[in-house]
Every structure is written in structure tokens, then in C-alpha cells.
Amino acid sequence: MTDATDVQAFEDGSAEDRELLGGKGANLAEMVGLGLPVPPGFTVTTEACREYLRTGELADDLWERIEHQVDALEEKMGRTLGDVEAPLLVSVRSGAPASMPGMMDTVLNLGIGSVAEEGLAAETDERFARDAHRRFVEMFGEIVLGIDADALAGVRDEVVADAGVDDASELDADQLADLIGRERDLVRGETGEDLPDDPREQLRAAIAAVFGSWDNDRARNYRRMEGIPDDLGTAVNVQAMVFGNRGQDSATGVAFSRDPSTGEPRPYGDWLRDAQGEDVVAGIRATEDLADLADEMPEIHAQLTDILQRLEEHYRDVQDVEFTVEDGTLWILQTRTGKRSAQAALRIAVDLVDEGVIDEDEAVRRVSPDDIDRLLHPQFDPEVDYEVLTTGLAASPGAASGEVVLTADEAARRGRDGDAVILVRIETSPDDVHGLDAARGVLTARGGLVSHAAIVARSLGKPAVCGADEVTIDLDAKTFQVGDVTVSEGEVISLDGATGEVVVGEVDLVEPRPEERFHLLLRWADERRRLGVRANADTADDAATAREFGAEGIGLCRTEHMFLGDRVPLVRRFVLASDDDERTDALRELESVQEEDFAALLEAMDGLPVTVRLLDAPLHEFLPDTEELVAADATGDLDDEGAALLDAVRTWAEVNPMLGTRAVRLAVLHPELYRMQVRALVKAAERRRGDGGDPHVQIMIPLVINGPETAAAIGWVREAIDEVDGEGVDVSIGAMIETPSAALLAEEIAGEAQFLSFGTNDLTQMTLGFSRDDVAGRVVQPYVDQGLLPVDPFQSVHEDTVGRLVRSAVASGRRGREDVDLGICGEHGGDPDSIRFFHDVGLAYVSCSPFRVPVARLAAAHAALAERDDDR
């Protein structure tokens, strides 16, 4: 059957056939089409693989077609597999449509055996031929026959030791013959059969092994993680071998069409004379850079540079090429889109627009939100080595080094003195914020990506590694421990919150350098996105940072911090008050200090909307720690105030505080709390107006469950506005949709509220019944690892459940009020996958940490472009 598509010579394919030929095969075909010097060969396609996976065997008619292609290849090369005169050797490589780590990769020098070795020796020399044979036996043994790599290495080490040399490359021809013999013995011992000497038998086994590796555990797990369908299958590329190790006119290397680290528009690469590709990768010998190639092999260099340029123009993107020079002839073995650093991604995208190669849409597509994120934070220098002590959750990007401190007070004191410190805690609470603020970074043993430490660190733009569960802290000894390693307070550690790595000692950092191209690309993104991007910012400083990063307002100002710090005594007076007068007094003082907080915030966001969430936390968060009071009580060290506090702590303690007496519920019990906040806010806005400012206030009621409750809360807000004659201020009043109940009743809530803001953190917690503080590390990770959840639902919106509630609430909210303003202010507001979802359901804006704002701007543009692409 000549029209069969299960085996194709490179010259018969094209890059369009990626699904059929796999990525590698499609690119080889494309290069042949471009007339580039590619060693001839053919692709056994994914169609053949799928058939193999169905039947469990390589069908005879397929094998016939493969042999037909082998015949054609022999004819093209003027060489024959297993020939004693002019033996043909081939490489066999897998190549799936998507990059697929974990599958069987490459067997080189296939076709060699006792006969071909003799032929090859005659053409080159005996040592070269035996070395090629040795390499084949090792690769075929490990990869196709499944011999333990350590066992093979053991045999090799014996021979190397017997020979008294340093490694296998120094073995002479006889010693190599001995090694080959012993390796073949090992194979026979392990498998009960000889390693096949017949090249066609070798080829058939190698192709079957590649196909079979599609179904191994690592490949399956990878596909599940990446959402790649199990039924795609992989292709296999069979290609004539060329040798970069055939003497001083031979060489091998990898080259990029532009610098993948900086993005500079000049070819970049490494090469080695008289070597095979694996020698470059293994780093046994020091490689030379491409400038040296220009000096040493000027013609090859000119030819390679030309090819790189042609490939980049053809693919309209940076190419990463494998090349080999055999006896003065340049061969291109592979090309693919070049992986690049964040910085390079940005520069290349913008440069390619300048060069007229791609348009702005494409440039925006080419930079990932992760790239933008990395550009905003220092990182461990990728050029230096370090030993990782432990790895936790990558909770807030950026890297830092500093001396270990174990309490927030100590961090605050040392930080004030200008010392670089890293706060290490089991977990953090609102009481630790001053320490987090003063530290360069934070490491916690417990808590997930949306734990207190993680959220605060992200909002401060500081690195955090959370839920590092190997860490145990001994506060008495002032140390923490990971396995056998003990780290004392005062010792320096480093952490990278983009990778979760923790290192003892200092690690060199690479500082962020947002440059003109950064702002240009984000302007392009802004022109394309439909979603607005606001920031979660609690203070004037946060607001200023957010504005610099392009935030179009504040989507969430948490007012809890206005009750902390030096206000704690006032809050405690309110809680402990024995009558209304005392309570009113305490609130009056809180009102006047909070007015200043709001005034500063509104000034920093002048002209843009500022969404203020009224008090959300339960009262016991402003009270001292129970255990300390209990311990003091047990030892008789509790004074009268302490006793009153212990009473209050016990009164207000809750079994499940997240579902307890907080937010609007607390306000139902004490409406004066919300009235106080609203008066302070509206008075601050009035003052801004008096000073010629342009304040836009949005007041948000948290944790509502239904319409009547929302109406009641909005009633107190309106009363408070009236109390301070705030009619002149631009105020809208809305509700947070963060209980499943509110999502289900969005219609009646929107009947009362002018805007709805989804609080997807709490909505996720309640919908899945996942307390983020408790299950994030302990439960969610095992669930994701075991495939019980597709993704960490605190990182990306769980579309099947939380997403479904959001989607239906958007529709019903609009039924309740046609022009209801819809946004989202949970941690998901900074997650690209979630942003795509929020775009799709039609929200007006997302709100995220200030440092995530640029990320969100880009992700929102990606969402808009993807939608446009889908519509085509």
C-alpha cells in the first residue's frame, strides 16, 4: 500500500503534519523541504503507534513498509545496514506531537554488530568502530532491553579500573572489545538472550520499545498533569547516523538563532571538535562558543549562521538547532523553538515586532505571565550552584537571603535596624504582620498557597516558601531542623519563592530589571484585553505600588489592618466593654484613626475606584493567643486584664472560625462596627473632595448569604452615610459573593447591591469543604498527585464546581440588576488560568496583589486573544 501514512520519508512530510509526524519528525521534514542538509531518514508515525498500542505488536505489513523505507535509505546513502563494506548506522528517536519527558528517547549507532563493526573499522579505525559499538550496546541495553543503567555502569567501571584509566573514552581498542563482551554477557544474564546482532532485528525492537514507552508510568503521569490525551501516540524517527567524532574536521554542537538567556539578536551556542552530541550535553569536556567556530571553521560557521537565520525567518521564532560536522560537512539533526529566559522572551518578542517578523498580537502571545512574574522579582542566579536544604510551596515569588529569626517581634526589631532577616515560623497570624513587613522573606512549616503568610508576602511583594513540612522549629533552642541539619537563629539562609527552594547560606541573586520593552509589551497587552485589572491593596503604600504596576483601582482593601497594631487596645476595649457607652467610646477613637487611613488610601488611588471591604475577621483575631493565656493562668501569672481577656477569648473562640461569627454576621450583632467604618471612609472621601481630589468609593459587604441580609447591611451603610452628610461623595455599595448560598441567590443579592465581587478563596473553601489553612499542604497536594483533583483549587479556579457557581451567579446577578458591576478579588485574580475563566464568564475586572498586576494584565490579553482565536 503506497498511500499508507504510517511510515513517511522526511521529504514527503511537512510541519503541518505535526499530529501525525510528531514535533521532531515534522521539523525534520520541514527542513528537508527547505533544502537544508539533514541526514536522510523516515518517520514511523503516530498512526502506527496508535495501532501498536491497540494490538500490542508491530504488524507485519507495517514492518514491511518500514523495511521498504530502510531499503530506500540504504540506496540514498549508498550504504547498507550490517554491511561489511559500507555499513549504514541509524539513530532511532521518539518524537511525540507534544514534548513528553519520561518516554524512551534515543538509540544511536543502531545497525552496528560484529560485521558492521568490522566494516566501520575499515572505513575509520578499530577504536572508533568499537567505541561506536560500545555506545550502542549501552543505549540499546538500557533503553530497549531495560537493563539497569547502574549494572551497565558497574561493568564499565570494572574495565576502566582494570585498565588503570579515568574513563571509558581513554580505553584502547582491545579494552573496548573486552568491555563490549562483558556488556553483552550482562545482557544475556539479565534477559536470557543475546543482544541482537542483526540490524533489522535491532530496529524492529527499538521501534516497538519507543511505542511501548508511551504507556509507562512516568509518561502517563506527565500526560495527566499536562492534560495531554492518552490516545495521541508518539512517532519514531529513523535517521542515518553522522559522526562528529571522526577527527579534527568533525564536530558537534547546539546553536540558538538568538541568545536564549538575554535575547540578544546574535547566534549563540556551544560546540566540541571531534565529539558526539552526548559529550556536549554531558559536559565532560569544556565546550567552545560559536565565535570560536567562526575562527576555526569559518565556512561551517557561515553556513550554520545562514541556516539559523533561514530557520528563524521560516518559523518566525528563535530556533534551537542540533548540528554535526562530519569530515567537513555540516548536518542539521534537529530544530525546535528555543526555550528562553523570561528576559529573553520579552526582548525577542519586542525585537521580532521591530523587525517586522511578527505582529503585536503574536508578541503578546509569545510572553507568558510567568515570564512577567519572574521579571519582577529577584531570583537565585541560575549560573551558580547551591545545595537545596528543603523545598516547600512556591508561595510568593522572589528570592532573598538573610539571618534566621524565629519570632515576628525579633524580625521587626532586627528589620528596623536594617538587618537582612528571614522570618521562620510554623505558620503566621495577623499578629506577625509587623515581622513579615520587616523581614526579607518568610519560611513557614505549615500552610498553603493561600495561607496567611503567603497572602501577606505576595501583597508585600516579598518571597515566601510555605508549607515546608520537613521543617520543625524548636523555639526553646532557637533552632529549626530539617532531617539531620539544624539551623540556629542568626545563621544565614536563602530562599526562592518562585521555586520553593530553601538553602543554608547565601545564594547570589539576579535582580529584576523591568525595562522599556516590559512597559511596551504590557501596553500592547492593555490594548487587547477586555478585563479590567485592579489590585488588592490595604494601605496607601500598597496602592502606590499597585498604581505603578498599572492597577486600574483597588478591587479589595481589607480593613483588618486598621484594627491591628496600635489599635489593638481600642478593639479590646470594644470587646471587653461592659456597656454601650464604653463600646461607643472605643469606636469613636477607632473612627478617627481609620479616617486617616482611608484618606491616605483615597489620595494614592485618586480618580480610580477604591473598593473597601468592611470588617471581615472574627473578633477573636484581635484577642491574644489562648494557649499563652492558659499557660499563664496555669502558673498563676494571669492579671485581672489577662483574666478578662481569657474570658473574652473563650466567649469568642470558635470551633470553625471561618464559618463563624465574622464579617456581616458580626455586623448583624454589632451594626455600629460597620457604621463606624463607613463614617470614617465617607468623611475621608469628603475631605479629599474638599482638597480638590476625585475619590470613588465602593463599599463592599463581605460573606453575605442572601438578599434580606444584604439589604439590612446596605441599610446600615446608608444610615452611616447620612450621619456624616456624605451624599456628595461618589459611593456605590456592593456585596461579596463568597458563600455558595450567595452564589445561588445572586439574583436577589444583586437586587440590593450595585456591584458583586466574587471572593473565590472562601467560595473555594466552602464549595469543596477545604479549609485552606488546614488542607492546602496536607490534603490538596496528595489529591493532585494522585489525580483526585486536576489542579490545586486554591491556585486555579476549580471550574467544575466553583467555576460553575460563578458562572451561574453571573447570569442570575444580571437578572437581578441588568448593569450590575461584576468583579473578582480572590487570590485567583492573579492566576492566568483563572483569568482566562473570568474573562470567559464575562466579569468586568479581576483584582490581585500589586505585584501580580502586570501578570494579570498580560493574562487578560491572552484570554482576549484566545477568545478571538477560538472564534475563528
Instruction: List residues binding a copy of itself (CB under 8 A).
Output: 626-627, 630-635, 654-661, 665, 668-669, 703, 705-706, 708-709, 712, 738-741, 744-745, 762, 765-771, 773-775, 778-779, 782-783, 786-789, 798, 800-801, 804-805
| Dist. CA 335–CA 313, nearest whole Å | 13
Alpha carbons 292 and 504: distance in angstroms, whole number: 39
- Measured distance CA(655)–CA(180) in Å, rounded: 70
List, in sequence order, the alpha helices (H) in 367-515.
369-375, 408-416, 433-438, 452-460
Write the CB contacts of 212 (distance below 8 Å, at least 6 apart in sequence).
Answer: 52, 104
> Based on the number of CB atoms within 10 Å of its own CB, is 869 exposed (0-12), middle (13-18) or buried (19 or more)?
exposed
- Minimum separation from the CB atom of position 111 to a copy of itself (A): 46
The three cell numbers of residue 298 are: 569559518
CA separation for the pair 115, 80 (Å, rounded): 11
Residue 786 CA to residue 780 CA, distance in Å, equals 10
DSSP per-residue codes, 201-265 = HHHHHHHHHHHHHTTSHHHHHHHHHHT--TTS--EEEEEE---TTSSTT-EEEEEESS-TTT--S
* Residue of 535, 498, 591, 520 lying closest to 363 (CA atoms): 520
- SS3 per-residue string spanning 848-861: ECHHHHHHHHHHHH
- Beta carbon nearer to a copy of itself, 357 or 744: 744
Dist. CA 701–CA 614, nearest whole Å = 6
Write down the least CB distance from residue 412 to a copy of itself, Å: 24
Q: Please, which residue, 2 or 786, has the CB nearer to a copy of itself?
A: 786
Alpha-carbon 667 to chain mean position? 40
CB of 364 to a copy of itself, least distance (A): 35
DSSP-based three-state secondary structure for 176: helix
Written as nine digits, the cell of 366 is 509569545
Q: Which is nearer to a copy of itself, 161 or 655 (CB)?
A: 655
Dist CA 108 CA 242 (whole Å): 10
User: Of 552 and 762, which CB lies nearer to a copy of itself in the complex structure?
Assistant: 762
Tell me whether residue 472 or residue 592 sits nearer to a copy of itself (CB atom): 472
Nearest by Cα to 597 from 571, 549, 561, 572 = 561
Min separation Cβ 658 and a copy of itself, Å: 5
Which one is catalytic: 49, 466, 825, 848?
A: 825
Q: Which residues contact 153 (CB under 8 A, 6 or more apart)?
A: none
Minimal distance, residue 424 CB to a copy of itself, in Å: 17
**Could you tell me the smallest distance in angstroms from the CB atom of residue 715 to a copy of itself?**
11
C-beta of residue 839 within 8 angstroms of C-beta of residue 530: yes
- Which of these, 741, 351, 759, 373, lies nearest to 516 by C-alpha position? 351
- Of 208 and 668, the one with the shorter C-beta distance to a copy of itself is 668
Identify which of residues 325 and 619 has a Cβ nearer to a copy of itself in the complex.
Answer: 619
* Sheet strands side by side (includes 464-466): 388-391, 501-504, 492-496, 399-405, 421-425, 441-444, 464-466, 393-396
CB 731 → a copy of itself: shortest distance, Å?
A: 23
Grid cell digits, residue 272: 566540541
| Closest separation in Å from C-beta 645 to a copy of itself | 15
The answer to whether residue 825 is catalytic is: yes
Q: Which three cell numbers stand for residue 341?
A: 529566559
Active site residue 452: yes
Q: How far is the CB of 740 from a copy of itself (least distance, A)?
A: 4
Closer CB to a copy of itself, residue 604 or residue 717?
717
Torsion of CA 338, 343, 345, 351, to 10 degrees: -110
Task: Closer to a copy of itself by CB, 222 or 783: give it.
Answer: 783
How far is CA 256 from each of CA 84, 355, 404, 479, rounded to the nearest angstrom? 38, 18, 42, 47
427 vs 508 by CB, closer to a copy of itself: 427
Catalytic residue among 301, 377, 452, 839: 452
Q: Are 415 and 439 in contact (CB under 8 A)?
A: yes
Q: How far is the CB of 655 from a copy of itself (least distance, A)?
A: 4
Residue type, 63: W
Nearer to a copy of itself, 229 or 690 (CB): 229
Kindly state the smallest distance separating residue 311's Cβ from a copy of itself, in Å.
43
The catalytic residues are 452, 825
